[in-house]
């Protein structure tokens, strides 16, 4: 056996004792067997080469492989950690800016509800001195939140059978609708005792105040700007919002004015969400579809609501702004309405129906042309036939043209060319004529 230099008997399930002759082999591997004694540990059998047989032991090569594998895993982990650490440090500033921006977005989109007790404190327990307006749907109060923010609190009348539907409808619209000419909601309060929406406060109140309070007046330039603001708001609802929205209640009391007289459309309690840019109408689930005098004629006939109904309401609003006459005025009875009254005077006798305060900036030819163009547009929008009305996108475009041609600070004897086609009376209906008249009689 002395001539045998290398013997590998590992993994053979050998049992019993190791013979003495076998122990003399220089390099002997008896690992992973069931022998009763260990392999020799003398100088001839280096532990680096000889794997001894231990009943429950593991081979040295297996241990080495596992150790090397563990070291490799740790090394990879350390490298990855260092790489991500460097990237994180490099982008730390940008990450903080992103977090701040994200928080601001969440604050705007997710409105945290306010407690009933906070509303009581903000409005002095809804004291009459803080009452701004009231109707059958509820009341609006001014107040201050704990952080000093001045707000308008709209408290719904829970006795009204549609109050819960109105609250949900308005929340659904205002949660996602974002436009500079829409009233911005700050937060809400909803319990079994109260349903309230908290809006930003508008210091100049509603357009209704400027139309009918003797202490408040506005010139033609301001009126034109407000008309454009409201048109932009309705155009956004019809075309550019997350879903097409029909407001259903466009009137002066729902147009709010901030400190710079910028108009903001409010009150979406009976608005309707529709499929994006569709010509189809939708049946209202709320009995009231608007306010008397501003409701489109087709609503009363078939109960179907559409964007064209908003165009009708906008046309009535525009005529009301120009004449300072409510569509529900006592003078309008029987067949006489605000629309027909203005139509009879248009265009030669518009001075008989226009609000004289609009002439404060001077009765120039430009002023005359602007007034006639606005009345023309108001009549077109409030046509009885939905098909005869322009879209709100068309209305915004026409108003922009009117504004560009209107210069109240310039007195000129030269007649400006009309910016939109003349409207002429044809068989009792307002239609668009392709030819524009070069001259018109002036009654100013």
CA distance 129 to 141: 9
Res 42: pLDDT: 42
Residue 132 domain-assigned? yes
Looking at residue 173, its pLDDT comes to: 79
Q: Residue 68 falls within a domain, yes or no?
A: no
Say what the pLDDT of residue 424 is.
31
Residues of the chain predicted below pLDDT 50: 1-2, 39-58, 102-103, 105-110, 275-288, 408, 410-444
Cis geometry, peptide bond prior to residue 314 (ω within 30 degrees of 0): no
Residue 35's pLDDT is: 74
Phi, psi for 263 (deg, rounded to 5): -90, 145
| Pair 183, 225 in one domain | no
Please indicate, yes or no, if residue 428 is contained in any of the structural domains: yes
Does residue 441 belong to any structural domain of this protein?
A: no
Please give the Cα distance from 155 to 160 (Å, whole number).
12
**What pLDDT does 214 receive?**
78
Pick the catalytic residue: 29, 249, 267, 310? Answer: 249
CB 132 within 8 A of CB 208: no
- Is the domain of 24 the same as that of 151? no
For residues 304 and 289, membership in a common domain is answered with yes
Question: Residues near 230 by Cβ (< 8 Å), separated by ≥ 6?
Answer: 181, 250, 255, 263, 265, 314, 317
- pLDDT tens digit string along 352-370? 999 988 877 667 888 889 9
Q: Do 52 and 126 lie in a common domain?
A: no
- Domain holding 189, by residue range, is 116-200
- Asked if 249 is an active-site residue, the reply is yes
Q: Say whether both 271 and 386 belong to one domain.
A: yes
Query: In this structure, what DSSP letter does residue 422 have?
Result: P
Q: Are strands 195-200 and 255-257 parallel, antiparallel or unpaired?
A: unpaired
Q: Is 351 exposed, middle or buried (0-12, 13-18, 19+ CB in 10 A)?
A: middle
Q: Is there a domain that residue 224 lies in?
A: yes
Count of structural domains, the chain: 3
**How confident is the model at residue 264, as a pLDDT?**
97
- The dihedral through the CA atoms of 373, 214, 136, 202 has a sign that is positive
Q: For the segment 41-51, what is each residue's pLDDT rounded down to a tens digit?
A: 443 443 333 44
DSSP lists the bridge partners of residue 246 as 272
40: which strand partners? Answer: none
311: part of which helix (H) or strand (E)?
A: helix 307-323
pTM over 0.85? The answer is: no
What per-residue confidence (pLDDT) applies to 63?
Answer: 60
Task: State the Cα–Cα distance between residues 8 and 13, nearest whole angstrom.
Answer: 13
Handedness of CA 275, 236, 164, 313 (dihedral sign): negative
């Amino acid at each position: 056996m002395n001539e045998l230099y290398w013997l590998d008997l590992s993994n053979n399930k050998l049992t019993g004792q190791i013979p003495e002759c076998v122990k003399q082999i220089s390099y002997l591997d008896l690992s992973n067997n069931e022998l009763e004694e260990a392999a020799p540990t003398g100088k001839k059998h280096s532990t680096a080469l000889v794997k001894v047989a231990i009943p429950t032991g593991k081979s040295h090569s297996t241990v080495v492989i596992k150790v090397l594998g563990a070291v490799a895993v740790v090394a990879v982990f350390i490298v990855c950690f260092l790489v991500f650490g460097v990237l994180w440090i490099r982008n730390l500033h940008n990450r903080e800016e992103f977090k701040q921006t994200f928080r601001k977005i969440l604050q705007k989109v997710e409105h945290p509800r306010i407690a009933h007790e906070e509303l009581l404190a903000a409005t002095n327990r809804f004291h009459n001195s803080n009452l701004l307006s009231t109707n059958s749907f509820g009341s609006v109060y001014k107040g201050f939140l704990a952080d000093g923010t001045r707000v308008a609190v709209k408290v719904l009348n829970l006795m009204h059978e549609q109050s819960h539907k109105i609250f949900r409808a308005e929340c659904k619209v205002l949660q996602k609708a974002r436009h500079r000419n829409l009233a911005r909601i700050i937060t809400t309060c909803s319990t079994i005792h109260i349903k309230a929406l908290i809006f930003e406060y508008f210091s100049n109140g509603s357009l209704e105040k400027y139309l009918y309070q003797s202490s408040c007046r506005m010139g033609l330039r301001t009126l034109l700007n407000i008309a454009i603001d409201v048109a932009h708001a309705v155009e956004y609802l019809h075309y550019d919002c997350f879903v097409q929205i029909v407001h259903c209640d466009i009137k002066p009391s729902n147009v709010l004015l901030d400190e710079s007289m910028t108009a903001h459309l409010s009150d979406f309690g009976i608005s309707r969400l529709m499929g994006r840019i569709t010509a189809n109408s939708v049946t209202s689930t709320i009995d009231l579809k608007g306010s008397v005098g501003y409701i489109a004629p087709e609503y009363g006939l078939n109960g179907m609501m559409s964007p064209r109904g908003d165009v009708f309401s906008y046309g009535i609003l525009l005529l009301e702004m120009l004449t300072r006459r409510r569509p529900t005025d006592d003078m309008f009875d029987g067949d006489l309405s605000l629309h027909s009254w203005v139509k009879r005077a248009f265009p030669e006798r518009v001075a008989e129906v226009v609000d004289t305060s609009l002439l404060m900036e001077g009765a120039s030819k430009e002023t005359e042309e602007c007034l006639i163009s606005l009345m023309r547009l108001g009549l077109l929008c409030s046509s009885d036939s939905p098909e005869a009305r322009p879209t709100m996108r068309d209305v915004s475009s026409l108003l922009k043209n009117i504004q560009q041609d209107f210069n109240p600070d310039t007195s000129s004897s030269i007649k400006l060319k009309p910016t939109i086609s003349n409207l002429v009376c044809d068989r009792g209906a307002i239609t668009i004529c392709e030819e524009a008249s070069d001259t018109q009689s002036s009654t100013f």
